[in-house]
Chain A
Amino acid sequence: MQTTAQHKLKRQSRLDPGGRYWIWYVLPALIMYCLFMAYPMLDSVRLSLYEGTTGARTFVGFSNYVRLFTDPEVSARFWGAFKNTWVFFAYHMMVQNVLGMLFAVILTNRTMVGRQFYQSVIFIPCTIAVMVTGYLFKLVLNPQFAGPTLRSMGLGALVRPWLGQEQTALHVISLVSVWQWVGIPTMMFVAGLQGISEDLLEAADIAGANSWQTFWYIKYPLLLPVVGMIAILTFVSNFNAFDIIYAMATPDGAPNYSTDLIGSLFYRYGVAGKHPIGIPEPGVGASISTAVFFMLLLGVVPTLRATQGKE
């Protein structure tokens, strides 16, 4: 038998450095993650250099990208969706995230009554499926639904085919999405603001700072890492948005592709096949997802560096 001291040493090494034995605990998760996420993601990049599906796949080099960026028909759709996605993203940054920060500042005010109630309500739409939200607003915004009633109330100006007009559809859909998701930045900012030391705010108060100055010179700079995180979150989710377009404007981004986003474009080319032929082009689909992949990296990494650098 070993002495107690030896035993102690053994115990240390059994648990702490532990050695390769721990791999057996990690392996199941790692295999699942590799097989159904990491590998398909990386292999999609490879597939963007091919044409056709399994069995009848031929290497075509960069021709999918050439088509995507320069072919008169395909590139018109791609750049259209690209532009629309930035508009969609702008709404989320300027409206959703600004509102979220405003709400969070209000909700973290200690002397304010009913904070818990407001907070719970703001978050309710986040729990509803995007599909449900989309259909609901599609019905509610249909001039047939409330048109007669609104007209009789003298609010006829509100009765317009909001989703049927090219110049309004994308804006209305963006606002619906903002309505749904404003709770997420609100909660994240609330968490961030609660982490700011009370002493700091008290010092500002004693120094005679008004609430705007306290916000701008103390709270906002300290929230910067959260701001960065939310910007990344918004960017990543907006460049993948699909459900809301599918529900409110069909996967074709109706009317006349004015609401087409990268997500719906990817679905049409890569998975469903374009109207009217209906044959998907996995190669073009993969090149769209690869373009998104690199765009996300280009957007995410600098934002991370700029806002999370201090730690």
Chain B
Amino acid sequence: MSTQKKERKATSLKVMNMHIPSHVLMVIWVFVALFPVYLLIINSFKGRMAIYSNPFGLPTEWTLDNYISVIQGGNFFQYFFNSITVVVVSLFVILLLGSLAGYGLAHWRGKLSKGIYFFFILGMMLPIKIATIRLLELMKIFDLFNTLWSLFFVYIAMGLPTAVFILTEFIHGLPRDLYEAAYIDGAPRSKIYYSIVLPLIKPALATVGIYNLVPIWNDLWFPLIFITREDKKTVLLAVTRLQGQYSTDWPRVFALLTLSALPVILLYLSMSKQFVAGLTAGAVKG
């Protein structure tokens, strides 16, 4: 009798460990999360009229015409080039200045350094959008309006607080012994930064990089305000022109949206672990 009871308990535990309600909920959400993305991609391969008769199914006739016309019409490659330039330059400078400042703040113990550190941290709580009115005038004064430089500067400033926070903490946590040998040899600080610190903080640099990459690539606000010239537009800004341009040619709109979203989705799928770490690292950031 007691073995029967035990068996029953074991099977009920087994059923419990299958987590059926949890799986049901998760499967529903997987569907909710992916169905719109699926619609985005498959409808970009349909003909102009085919989407009305068959909005949800796979295309009966696959076509690349939408992609060809998007790529041929307008300065598609220019937009992509601009977006990539903005991301690469901004990230490079954020990582360079952020790691230098982190190196300095991690070693410099004093009231002033503490103050500077908290001044940076404050920037993690406040969204840079609040500064827009002044920034717009600043860009006009410096003659940076309608140049990619305006975007570099804003994104660098926006990325620095989190970069300084993450990198200072990381460098501070490195074991001191690692420097000892170099100090004894009398190596200058700059050399220690370059040949010892930099290689050690690679994981933290990756975190900071990913943390900034997605928001910079996906930003609409600053390009919308700083850029009006056709040849300086970013991909996202080009997407805004869709409103009027192909308003009735939906498959073409879907194709452009797919092209602008795909690079980040693919990057995410190929390194999702680093992404999740990166995007949740600056948990404090708004």
Contacts and interface: CB of A to CB of B under 8 A. Distances in A.
Given A17-B110, A22-B107, A111-B19, A122 B272 contact: no
B87 to A, nearest CB: 13
Contact of A28 (B101, B189, B279): B101
Nearest to B163: A29
Contacts of B98: 29
Given A122-B30, A131-B218, 20 more contacts: A28-B100, A33-B160, A37-B128, A103-B26, A106-B25, A109-B22, A118-B26, A124-B33, A124-B268, A130-B218, A132-B239, A139-B254, A149-B53, A179-B33, A232-B286, A242-B129, A247-B240, A270-B133, A293-B130, A296-B125
Majority secondary structure of chain B interface residues (helix, strand, loop or mixed):
helix
B239 to A, nearest CB: 5
B17 interface: yes
A129 to B, nearest CB: 4
Given A123-B276, A146-B56, A289 B101 contact: no
Contacts of B36: 125, 133, 136-137, 140, 179
Instruction: Give chain B's interface residue range (CB within 8 Å of chain A).
Output: 35 or more
Q: Which of A11, A40, A132, A266 has the most CB of B within 10 A?
A: A132
A145 B55 contact: yes
B108 A18 contact: yes
A126 to B, nearest CB: 7
Q: Which of A41, A113, A293, A300 has the most CB of B within 10 A?
A: A41
A286 interface: yes
Contacts, number: 281
A187 B272 contact: no
A172 interface: no
Interface in B111-165: 112-113, 116, 119-120, 123, 125-138, 140-141, 153-154, 156-158, 160-161, 163-164
Given A109-B19, A135-B242, A129 B218 contact: yes
B97 A131 contact: no
Nearest to A28: B97
Instruction: Give chain A's interface residue range (CB within 8 Å of chain B).
Output: 35 or more
Contacts of B134: 39-41, 43-44, 47, 286
Contacts of B164: 29
Interface in A252-282: 263, 266, 270-271, 282
B133 A285 contact: yes
A38 B116 CA distance: 12
Interface in B23-53: 23, 25-26, 29-30, 32-34, 36-37, 39-40, 51-53
A94 interface: no
A23 interface: yes
6 contacts: A36-B153, A129-B218, A179-B32, A233-B286, A243-B220, A289-B131
A274 to B, nearest CB: 15
Given A120-B272, A127-B264, A131-B220, A22 B104 contact: yes
Contact of B97 (A32, A148, A237): A32
B10 interface: no
Given A129-B218, A136-B36, A145 B19 contact: no
Interface in B217-263: 217-218, 220-221, 224-225, 236, 239-240, 242, 250, 253-254, 257, 260-261
B1 interface: no
A112 B22 contact: yes
Contacts of A109: 19, 22
B200 interface: no
A129 B137 contact: no
Contacts of A14: 183
A235 B232 CA distance: 33
